[in-house]
Amino acid sequence: MKNYKIIITVVLCLCFTNVITMQGCQYKETVSTQKENVITQNGCQYKITDPDEMYEVNGITILRTTEQPINGVACIFIVGRLMSEIPYKNGVIDGISKGYSVNGELLIEAPYKNGKREGYLQRYYSESGRLDVKILYNNNNPISGICGSGRVLNNAEIINWQNGYVDVNCTPHE
């Protein structure tokens, strides 16, 4: 179950060349004599191409190649495409995690503080990039939400969201 949490929140990045450009960001692999999986890109320090490169122990995410907690932004690539960017502080998610579609569109932004969702999670329509739904979290619990159309989510929808049923019926707006 913990591996699924890592897979969902991690950004997968697979680079076939030393320098690639994605969504206007340039990724460069660094040359290192140590056994590291480190790259630099606007704050992105880790290139993860396989979810097995990371594992979790007592809530701390460890990079398998260094056996150290991740400290910085992990970029997860699947089949050469950036899928997630996840910020870590001492192995704990802390900051705004981002998830992307296979076409590179931003699908979700989720703020974390010390491993818990805190603040507004925002989910976007992949076709238009417009806001689909915005959910307010307090201490990892969804407490309210609003659709991009302005419709406020009811308590049953918030409870469903908390239980993993994230298919909220927010009608697309023009």
Q: Which two tokens stand for residue 54?
A: 């990371």
**In this structure, are residues 122 and 106 in contact, taking their beta carbons and an 8 Å threshold?**
no
5 sits in which H/E element = helix 2-9
Whole-number Å distance between alpha carbons of 174 and 167: 20
DSSP 8-state secondary structure symbol assigned to residue 31: P
Query: Which residues make Cβ contacts (< 8 Å) with residue 151, sequence separation at least 6?
Result: 170, 171
Prediction pTM value: 0.72
104 phi-psi bin (left φ>0, alpha ψ -120 to 50, beta other): left
pLDDT score at 172: 58
Q: What is the pLDDT along the chain (174 residues), one digit of tens a residue?
A: 343 333 333 332 322 222 222 333 333 333 222 333 444 444 678 889 888 899 999 999 999 988 999 999 999 998 888 899 999 999 999 999 999 998 889 999 999 999 999 999 999 987 788 999 999 999 999 999 999 999 999 999 998 888 887 778 786 544
| Domain locations in the chain as residue ranges | 1-24+36-104, 118-166
Q: Cα(59)–Cα(94) distance, rounded to whole angstroms?
A: 13
Adjacent-strand bridge partners of 78 = 81
pLDDT at res. 126:
78
